[in-house]
Amino acid sequence: MFSLQNKTAIVTGGGSGIGKAISILFARQGADVYILDLDETGATAVCREIIEAGGMASFRKCNVSDSAEVKTVVEGIHRLTGSIHILVNNAGIAHVGTIESTEENDLDRLISVNIKGVYNCSKHVIPLMKATGGAILNMASIASSVGIPDRFAYSMTKGAVVGMTLSIAKDYLSSNIRCNCISPARVHTPFVDGFIAKNYPGREAEMFEKLSRTQPIGRMAEPSEIAALALYLCSDEASFVTGSDYPIDGGFIYLNN
């Protein structure tokens, strides 16, 4: 089950965190993985890890907010492989602030990556995916479903990701292209560690424990747990699943009383 043999997968933001875990797992399950990222050091290291484990991975430096750049990279992958079966729109950035403290340039920055990045990659992959069908998976957030303090711009952009997911799923039913999204709660990634170190110096352990307890289950998710759900949704076993937003949140949405 959950084999990705003979499938080509594009993973954006695959150089660290959730994207890294997805890239490694997909390659382990047989996919030829192409990582699109601006972090050449991180993405190259992930590719090396995959190849040393016997898998196939390749890095393409790409700014997902640049439509022309995405088009060139995606079409190059298609020429090389002949098909693209899976697109994981994982690349994203965060911002802390209310509407009052969020400046216009902050909003523009999040829109360019979190919304336009999904738009650009999907727009240029879908015409190439029509021949074989395929699966598109977008990374949303519980912030698209519930109110999170000081996350105005982030919540707004992740809400747009859910909307795009539903629209793509509806429009491409006849092309056998499925589109779903995942909404994680807090995941223990290098971003979280960096955020705590920057904002709470000397209190890292205390704040890590406090943030962990915001999930009713009592801890943050591990990137590998998000990757496992991503694998299911992009595999043939999920061929009846489209237009769905999957919370993976340790009970945050429904049990956080």
Cα gap 230→64, rounded to integer Å: 20
Q: Where are the domains of the chain?
A: 8-185+222-242, 187-220
- Confirm whether pTM is higher than 0.75: yes
- Give the active site residues: 154
Each residue's pLDDT, cut to its tens digit, for the chain (257 residues) gives: 999 999 999 999 999 999 999 999 999 999 999 999 999 999 999 999 999 999 999 999 999 999 999 999 999 999 999 999 999 999 999 998 999 999 999 999 999 999 999 999 999 999 999 999 999 999 999 999 998 899 999 999 999 999 999 999 999 999 999 999 999 999 999 888 988 998 889 999 999 999 999 899 999 999 999 999 999 999 999 999 999 999 999 999 999 76
Report the topology of domain 8-185+222-242. Answer: Rossmann fold (3.40.50)
Count Cβ atoms below 10 Å from residue 169 Cβ, excluding itself. 19
- Sequence-separated (6 or more) residues with CB below 8 Å from residue 166: 243
With vertex at residue 56, the alpha carbon angle to CA 81 and CA 79, rounded to the nearest 5 degrees, is 15
Q: Which residues of 19-34 are buried (b: 16+ CB within 10 A; e: fewer)?
A: bbbbbbbbbbbbbbbb
